[in-house]
A and B are shown apart, each in its own frame.
Chain A
Amino acid sequence: MDGEKEKVPAQVRTVNPLVPVPRGPIPTVPPESTRRTVRVTIDGREISVPEGTTLLEATRKAGKDTPTLCYLESLTPVNVCRICVVELEGSRALVPACSRKAEDGMVIRTDSERVRLSRRLILEFLASSVDVSTSPQIRSYLERYDAQPQRFGVPQSASEGRDAAHAGVHVVTDGSRAAAVAQPTKVDNELYVRDYGKCILCYKCVEACGVDAQNTFAIAVAGRGFDARISTEFAVPLPDSACVYCGNCIGVCPTGALMFVSEHNMRKAGTWDESRQSSTDTICPYCGVGCTLTLRVQDEKIVRVESPIENGVTHGNLCVKGRFGWQFVQIQDKNHNGSDAG
């Protein structure tokens, strides 16, 4: 190929209007070896990492399993869950590992008494106010940090009024029941349900709906304080909103607050059984992009479709067809030829 290119006269290349000519050297990411490195001490062990590395990456490089909830490789860190906090020497408060960049000479403790207390309390706060039953991740953290969410009392039962809460107003109770976000599940379309009683407000779905993936902006955080909630404008049902049903919000939801209707119904019926499920990777048949789909199958039926976050094509994102358009695969009627006439 190179030999052939050489033969093309220079002026032909420059005058051809169909071939874009780079106006300068094409920028490339410098290889890791030539980037400046900084040295940080993590739990007594000094390691060096390239400049610009976050403390989360650094702690992971040092072999520490720093817990995260609102962090996802494909999204801009919002550092709101604070479960990744670590102790930084010289800093009054703990710092979020997910977004704090490593600086030369930093001394970090990832498992000090203060760090453990904060992580435990954060988990207790979440589990005492949110239904975490469909979040295996939070449940494993609860165990790891010996969190006792029940010590804040019996959580409040579901309330209807969360969507109408006014900023800066709340009813003062006698404290005998722990305030909780429990509320009726929103089922307003055929593709997915929103059960905000399970929402930890990690902002991931808002980011995936916005500039980090879909640029649809159908949902945003509304309200303030404990009444802050994920909402469409004036809490209108999803079909009236800007939603395009790409389902990328479901893809990033860490708690199962956003769920396929298929999964929701099976869980309700008690037929959801992950031990009977298998995953198969395939390529989406609809267009030429070639998105990788991971089909979750239970009893020969597709029950959920995802895409691997590390996939270079999708980064975990899909469109409505890839994520929800798989019913044709399941048609059992052997005489059905796929057309309306059939």
Chain B
Amino acid sequence: MDAHYTKQHSSAAEKQAVDSVLGAPDSGWKGGTRSPERDGHSAVNGHARGSERHLLLPVLHAIQARLGWISPGALNYACQRLDVPPAEAYGVASFYGLFSVTPRPPCVLHVCDDIACMTRGGEELCGKLESQLGPPGSASLAGKVTWLRSPCLGLCERAPAALMSRAGEKPAEKVVAPASSGSLVSTLQSFAVATIKEPPDHFEASVSAPQLTHGDNSNLMLLRRIGRIDPASLDDYRAHGGYDALRRALDRGGSWVVREVSASRLVGRGGAAFPTGKKWDPSNKPRYLVCNADESEPGTFKDRVVMEADPFSVVEAMTIAGTALGCERAYLYVRGEYPLAGERLSHAITAARERGYLGNNILGRGVDFDIEIRHGAGAYICGEETALFNSIEGLRGEPRNKPPFPTQAGLFGKPTVINNVETLINLLLIVQEGGERYAALGTKGSTGPKLFCLSGHIRQPGVYEVPFGTTLRELIGLGGGVSGSGRLKAILLGGAAGSFLSPDELDTPLTFEGTRAVGASLGSGVVMLFDDTVDLRKILFRIAAFFRDESCGQCVPCRLGTVRQEESLQRLHHGGPIESVDVELSMLKEVGQVMRDASICGLGQTASSAVESALRRWQLF
């Protein structure tokens, strides 16, 4: 049956936006002008017709950047070009937080009101904005601007953070962190009317990775190039040891690399801590490699720092992984809220391709491998590996049921290896040092160095690299100690999906096994500190609201469990528990259990983790 499109007329700007990604249409069958001579006796059908659906997300990005919203005319034209039913494309567009399917001002200010920024004036900033610009979502400054509250923007070391985006012929994005309530509106005003594309962000290594300013930092491995090289220069990267590992890997061959990874006992750094060697089973014949750079766990920003300051290392590590595993293609899925990281990675990929480090016949060794960047659009759930596949494929970012696992059926239904940014850059060390020597670092159960994201009430927030086994106390010492009142109340380990620890657990070694022993998990390496002036209940409310907002809505336990969890906490706070506090708390526990037991993916399974860990440690209600 022929696809049905809406009767919406598409304007020139709408068509331009779509064509900027897809090129001009080549026939009347694909949204172009119909030419009886050319189109009359041919038709594009079958698999070829629907094979471009994976371009839906890039096309939606282009529409949003050009028009400021996904208009019916633009969506309709995109559907004709990509052969996607309009209802499905609308379902995809309305899934992402950064897209709007209703008209909205071209310039949008996203202000982080998440837990890390809450400790550093995020809430006050939002209050000030509300008095200056009206409630979130309302148009102001002559209809040019609106502002929205945003979940964690991954700029916790520079909290409070804000991100501006401007749609139009020259779209731009700009990060403002730390944002001061005094100057934010005037910055926004000049950004809204600017006509030149400005650099999206600045990066200061000493701010984002303060360890680099410490006396002895020669032992840093993952951070060794941060701040020391020009992230846009391939030569600089090579002068600092870049691409030595790839040469060595190609010299030794793919099976050697796979063996060394196995010997290194490297485990995934994205949060789930799955042994990389197990994922890397060449007998699965993986066709795709995916780098998960959709870092969205509140309080996590380590991958962003690496991508912004040392983008070539990510590209090199992906090349090593891809060539060792025999993948034909890789996708690098970068978080949509990371404009600078996206820009630098895309520059690094182009530069590497020009110099023969990517593409056909890499370094003259007869190996082909290439990387394509995809940008997320504001959906925490897309950091879940199978949701990420769906997102790349142009579907809604809903997680798939497992099994089958990605190693059997992943991206486009083919065997896929998917690793987090930090996991991948560890390959450079493993290849250079060898798996055995790498495994000697850290502890028996957790090998290698680890990046931690220190934020909240800490004197020097930022990314820190320590070997596994460092205690929480030592790490906090490295960050200069507790700030704020100076009296530590709670530590959130692993982000919103992690657990709270109390100050008497500071000697917990930061290893997978050590944190497991105290009923917590390292997660993505978040260590967020709260002093005793913080109302932990408000932190819990924000976490509960976060999960309600970010649940994809697919399965009942998570879609409704996250809602009931938030309601229950609010009732406890407002003094209106159902029946009694005890009944309410036991209900909350049951809600947590059904989410943990019956949800499809890790989001629902961990949505009650932080709340439950806090209620176990403190009597908050």
The reply to whether B560 and A117 contact each other, CB–CB distance below 8 Å, is no
- Using a CB-CB cutoff of 8 Å, which residues 217-269 of chain A contact chain B? 217-228, 231-234, 236, 240-242
Chain B residues whose CB sits within 8 angstroms of the CB of A201 once the complex forms? 553, 556, 559
Chain B residues whose CB sits within 8 angstroms of the CB of A152 once the complex forms? 564, 567, 578, 587
Q: Which residue of B lies closest to A226 (CB)?
A: B563
The reply to whether B541 and A172 contact each other, CB–CB distance below 8 Å, is yes
A82–B597 alpha-carbon span in the complex (Å): 10
- Using a CB-CB cutoff of 8 Å, which residues 1-29 of chain B contact chain A? 1, 3-4, 6-7
Of B378, B569, B591, B605, the residue contacting A168 (CB under 8 A) is: B378
Q: Which residue of A lies closest to B401 (CB)?
A: A79
- Using a CB-CB cutoff of 8 Å, which residues 257-290 of chain B contact chain A? none
The reply to whether B598 and A176 contact each other, CB–CB distance below 8 Å, is no
A129–B149 alpha-carbon span in the complex (Å): 26
- Using a CB-CB cutoff of 8 Å, which residues 542-565 of chain B contact chain A? 545, 548-557, 559-564
The reply to whether A231 and B378 contact each other, CB–CB distance below 8 Å, is no
A172–B598 alpha-carbon span in the complex (Å): 25
Chain A residues whose CB sits within 8 angstroms of the CB of B591 once the complex forms? 121
Of A82, A170, A174, A233, the residue contacting B598 (CB under 8 A) is: A82
The reply to whether A121 and B594 contact each other, CB–CB distance below 8 Å, is yes
Q: Which residue of B lies closest to A69 (CB)?
A: B556
Of B85, B403, B557, the residue contacting A82 (CB under 8 A) is: B557
Q: Does B450 contact A (CB under 8 A)?
A: no
Of A125, A216, A222, the residue contacting B564 (CB under 8 A) is: A125
Q: Which of B88, B89, B100 has the most CB of A within 10 A?
A: B88
Question: Known: A125-B560, A170-B545, A175-B569. Contact between A224 and B553, CB under 8 A?
Answer: yes
Chain A residues whose CB sits within 8 angstroms of the CB of B99 once the complex forms? 167
Chain A residues whose CB sits within 8 angstroms of the CB of B143 once the complex forms? none
Chain B residues whose CB sits within 8 angstroms of the CB of A100 once the complex forms? 403
The reply to whether A153 and B570 contact each other, CB–CB distance below 8 Å, is no
Q: Does A304 contact B (CB under 8 A)?
A: no
The reply to whether B571 and A176 contact each other, CB–CB distance below 8 Å, is yes
Of B1, B75, B95, B587, the residue contacting A224 (CB under 8 A) is: B95
The reply to whether A221 and B401 contact each other, CB–CB distance below 8 Å, is no
- Using a CB-CB cutoff of 8 Å, which residues 35-93 of chain A contact chain B? 79-83, 85, 93
Chain A residues whose CB sits within 8 angstroms of the CB of B570 once the complex forms? 172-175
Q: Does A200 contact B (CB under 8 A)?
A: yes
Chain B residues whose CB sits within 8 angstroms of the CB of A225 once the complex forms? 548-553, 559, 562
A169–B599 alpha-carbon span in the complex (Å): 22
The minimal Cβ–Cβ distance linking B495 to chain A, given in whole angstroms, is 17
The reply to whether A169 and B4 contact each other, CB–CB distance below 8 Å, is no
Q: Does A108 contact B (CB under 8 A)?
A: no
The reply to whether A167 and B97 contact each other, CB–CB distance below 8 Å, is yes
Chain B residues whose CB sits within 8 angstroms of the CB of A126 once the complex forms? 556, 560
A166–B103 alpha-carbon span in the complex (Å): 12
Chain A residues whose CB sits within 8 angstroms of the CB of B566 once the complex forms? 172, 175
A226–B564 alpha-carbon span in the complex (Å): 11
Q: Which of A153, A216, A225 has the most CB of B within 10 A?
A: A225
Instruction: Give B360-401 as 1s and 0s: 1 = Cβ < 8 Å from A's Cβ atoms.
Output: 000000000000000000110000000000000000100001
The minimal Cβ–Cβ distance linking B10 to chain A, given in whole angstroms, is 14
Chain B residues whose CB sits within 8 angstroms of the CB of A128 once the complex forms? 560, 564
* Secondary structure of the A contact surface, majority rule: loop
Q: Which of B85, B94, B551 has the most CB of A within 10 A?
A: B94
Q: Does A114 contact B (CB under 8 A)?
A: yes
A280–B128 alpha-carbon span in the complex (Å): 68
A94–B564 alpha-carbon span in the complex (Å): 21
Instruction: Give B65-78 as 1s and 0s: 1 = Cβ < 8 Å from A's Cβ atoms.
Output: 00000001001100
The reply to whether A169 and B87 contact each other, CB–CB distance below 8 Å, is no
Question: Known: A166-B102, A226-B559, A241-B4. Contact between A85 and B86, CB under 8 A?
Answer: no
- Using a CB-CB cutoff of 8 Å, which residues 561-601 of chain B contact chain A? 561-564, 566-571, 574, 576, 578, 587, 590-591, 593-594, 596-600
The minimal Cβ–Cβ distance linking A106 to chain B, given in whole angstroms, is 12
Q: Does B91 contact A (CB under 8 A)?
A: yes
The reply to whether B95 and A226 contact each other, CB–CB distance below 8 Å, is no
- Using a CB-CB cutoff of 8 Å, which residues 229-258 of chain B contact chain A? none
The reply to whether A178 and B95 contact each other, CB–CB distance below 8 Å, is no
A118–B555 alpha-carbon span in the complex (Å): 13
Instruction: Give B340-378 as 1s and 0s: 1 = Cβ < 8 Å from A's Cβ atoms.
Output: 000000000000000000000000000000000000001
Q: Which residue of A lies closest to B150 (CB)?
A: A168
The reply to whether B557 and A118 contact each other, CB–CB distance below 8 Å, is yes
The number of chain A residues with a CB under 8 A from chain B is: 60
The reply to whether B557 and A125 contact each other, CB–CB distance below 8 Å, is yes
Chain A residues whose CB sits within 8 angstroms of the CB of B600 once the complex forms? 79-80, 82
The minimal Cβ–Cβ distance linking B534 to chain A, given in whole angstroms, is 19
Q: Does A303 contact B (CB under 8 A)?
A: no
The reply to whether A117 and B590 contact each other, CB–CB distance below 8 Å, is yes
Q: Which residue of B lies closest to A168 (CB)?
A: B97
The reply to whether B553 and A179 contact each other, CB–CB distance below 8 Å, is no
The reply to whether B598 and A94 contact each other, CB–CB distance below 8 Å, is yes
The reply to whether B593 and A117 contact each other, CB–CB distance below 8 Å, is yes
The reply to whether B4 and A121 contact each other, CB–CB distance below 8 Å, is no
Question: Known: A220-B88, A231-B87. Contact between A99 and B401, CB under 8 A?
Answer: yes
Of B396, B551, B578, B594, the residue contacting A153 (CB under 8 A) is: B578
A81–B556 alpha-carbon span in the complex (Å): 5
A225–B566 alpha-carbon span in the complex (Å): 13
A112–B3 alpha-carbon span in the complex (Å): 48
Chain A residues whose CB sits within 8 angstroms of the CB of B82 once the complex forms? none
A164–B102 alpha-carbon span in the complex (Å): 8
Of B88, B89, B401, B567, the residue contacting A178 (CB under 8 A) is: B567
Q: Does B501 contact A (CB under 8 A)?
A: no
Chain A residues whose CB sits within 8 angstroms of the CB of B559 once the complex forms? 201, 225-226, 228
Q: Does A159 contact B (CB under 8 A)?
A: no
Q: Does A122 contact B (CB under 8 A)?
A: yes
The reply to whether B571 and A117 contact each other, CB–CB distance below 8 Å, is no
A219–B7 alpha-carbon span in the complex (Å): 17
Q: Which residue of B lies closest to A240 (CB)?
A: B6
A232–B75 alpha-carbon span in the complex (Å): 13
The reply to whether A168 and B550 contact each other, CB–CB distance below 8 Å, is yes
The reply to whether B553 and A226 contact each other, CB–CB distance below 8 Å, is yes
Of B7, B89, B549, B569, the residue contacting A169 (CB under 8 A) is: B549
A174–B552 alpha-carbon span in the complex (Å): 23
A216–B209 alpha-carbon span in the complex (Å): 53
Chain A residues whose CB sits within 8 angstroms of the CB of B401 once the complex forms? 79, 96, 99
Of A179, A200, A234, the residue contacting B90 (CB under 8 A) is: A234
The reply to whether B548 and A170 contact each other, CB–CB distance below 8 Å, is yes
Question: Known: A117-B593, A151-B578, A153-B578. Contact between A80 and B598, CB under 8 A?
Answer: no
Q: Does A133 contact B (CB under 8 A)?
A: no
Of A93, A94, A125, A221, the residue contacting B91 (CB under 8 A) is: A221
Q: Does A215 contact B (CB under 8 A)?
A: yes
Q: Which residue of B lies closest to A174 (CB)?
A: B574
Of A83, A175, A223, the residue contacting B553 (CB under 8 A) is: A223
Q: Which residue of A lies closest to B567 (CB)?
A: A175
The minimal Cβ–Cβ distance linking A230 to chain B, given in whole angstroms, is 9
Q: Which A residues are closer than 8 A to B by beta carbons?
A: 79-83, 85, 93-94, 96, 99-100, 114, 117-118, 121-122, 125-126, 128-129, 151-153, 164, 166-170, 172-176, 178-179, 200-201, 215-228, 231-234, 236, 240-242
| Smallest CB-CB A-B distances: 5 pairs | A228-B553, A217-B85, A242-B4, A175-B570, A125-B560
Some 28 contacts from A to B, beta carbons below 8 A apart, are A85-B598, A94-B598, A99-B401, A114-B593, A117-B593, A118-B557, A118-B593, A122-B594, A129-B560, A152-B564, A152-B578, A166-B102, A167-B97, A168-B550, A169-B149, A173-B567, A173-B570, A174-B574, A175-B569, A176-B574, A220-B87, A221-B553, A222-B87, A224-B97, A224-B553, A233-B6, A240-B7, A241-B4
Known: A174-B576, A175-B566. 4 other contacts (CB 8 A): A82-B555, A100-B403, A169-B549, A175-B568
Q: Which B residues are closer than 8 A to A by beta carbons?
A: 1, 3-4, 6-7, 72, 75-76, 85-91, 94-97, 99-102, 137, 148-149, 151, 378-379, 396, 401, 403, 541, 545, 548-557, 559-564, 566-571, 574, 576, 578, 587, 590-591, 593-594, 596-600, 605
